[in-house]
Amino acid sequence: MSLPQIIILGAGLGGTIAAYEIRDAVKGKADVTVVNDQEDYWFIPSNPWVAVRWREPEAIKVHLPPIMKKKGIGFTAVGAKKVHPQENRLELNDGTSLHYDYLVIATGPELAFDEIEGLGPDGHTVSVCKTDHATAAADAFERFCADPKPIVVGAVQGASCYGPAYEFALILDTELKRRKIRDKVPMTFVTAEPYIGHLGLDGVGDTKGLLESELRDRHIKWICNNRITGIEDGMMHCEELAEDGSVKATHDLPFGYSMLLPAFRGIDAVMGVEGLVNPRGFILADKHQRNPTFKNVYSLGVCVAIPPVGPTPVPVGVPKTGFMIESMVTAIAQNLKLELAGKEPSEEATWNAVCLADFGDGGVAFVAQPQIPPRNLNWSSSGKWVHMAKVGFEKYFLHKVRRGKSEPFYEKLAMHALGIRKLRFK
C-alpha cells in the first residue's frame, strides 16, 4: 500500500525547515514532497546587507534539489497555480495536479506593491523583500552615492514587517558614513506604526526608547501614523493621522533613494478559497496550526492569519519572526506524527520571538514570550554584540539548511537552558 502523502507548499525560511523536521517526524509513515516556485533557498534576513553590497547574493543561496533528494523528500520547482482543498488536490503551474492526504502551506506572502501608486521596484522605490530586489537596490544605491540626495525609508500602511525597515535605515546611515557622504543626505523614517519601536507588537521591552534613541543619535527624522497616498519620481506624498484617524498633517518628502516595505497579502494559489483564507488571503488556523474547515491543511509563517494586537489610526499588521515560525514548524511536525498514529493533534506552538536587528555597527535584540502580548517575558537590549550575533546566526542558519537539519540537539539544549521553547507545556 502506498504511504500517505504530505505536501509542503513553499520552501522559504519556514517551508524548508518544515520539510526537514516533518520528514524526520513521519519517516516510514508518510511521503513528503515540497512544491516551490524555484530551486533555490535565499536567506531573506541578509537582504539589507545585499542592498549595500556587504553580502553577495550567492553567499546567501542554497540549491535545494540535491539536499531534498538526500533527505528522501520529493521536490518540484514548477510552482502552484491553485489549492483545491475540497478535492485534496494541488494544481501546479504546468497543468498537472498532486493529490495529498495532508497539506502544509508555507508560501510566505505576495508583496502588495500595486496598492500604492509608484511603490516598489517597478515604481520609484527599491525593495529588500527578495534577494533579486536587494541586488537591484544595491545598483540603485551606487548610482545614488554618485549624486547624493535625501533618503526616505520605512513601511507603508498595512505592513506587518517593520524590523527590516529599521535595519535598512540604520545600515544606510552606517554605509553613508563609511563613504564620507552622510552629511549630504537628509534621512526620514516613515511608518504606519503609532510610535517608533511598536513593530506591530505594541513594543517589546524598551524598543520604543532604544529605537528612538538610535534614530535621534543618527539625525534621522521620523513620521509615525503615516499613510502614503502616492509616490512620484523623487517625491513621496504622505498623510500623518491623528489618534482619531483624522488627517493631522500632510507631507511631501523629496527623495533620491527610498526603500519602503509593502503590505502583504495571500498568494494567488490560495486567494478567495472559502473557508481556507481571510479576505486578505491569509490562511486561517487554529491553535494547532490546522485550518478549522479543512482539517488536513496546516499552515505556518507569514501566510498565517493573525489579528492586529490592537486598533491603530493607520493599519498595522503583526510580524511573524523566525523563531516564532520555527515554533509553528515543530507543532505541525508533531501534530502530523500524532495524526498518522490515529490520534488528535494536541501540540501548540509557543509563538515565542527571538529577534536580532542589525544596524551595521550595532543593533537591537529582543525576546518576547510569547510574541503577542500579554507576555511572560518582555526583554530588549542593544549594543555592538547584536551585529556580531546576527552575522553568526546567518552562518549558522545557512549551515542548517545546507545540512538538511531543522534543529541540532545543541541548539535545542541552548534554547531550553534560556527558557525559550517551541511547544507549549501541556
What residues act catalytically?
161, 355
From CA 318, how far away is CA 156, in angstroms rounded? 13
From CA 266, how far away is CA 109, in angstroms rounded? 5
- 142: how many CB neighbours lie within 10 A of its CB? 11
From CA 267, how far away is CA 166, in angstroms rounded? 26
231 burial (CB, 10 Å; 0-12 / 13-18 / 19+) is buried
Peptide bond into 4 cis (omega under 30): no
DSSP structure string for 293-305: SSTTEEE-GGGB-
C-beta of residue 279 within 8 angstroms of C-beta of residue 260: no
Pairing of strands 89-92, 257-261: unpaired
Region at 158 (left for phi over 0; alpha for psi -120 to 50; beta for the rest)? left
In the sheet that holds 97-99, the strands lie side by side as 80-84, 89-92, 97-99
Cell of 100: 495529498
Cell of 183: 552629511
Measured over the CA atoms of residue 125, residue 131, residue 136 and residue 142, the dihedral's sign is positive
- With CA atoms as reference, report the closest residue to 60 among 394, 412, 415, 410: 394
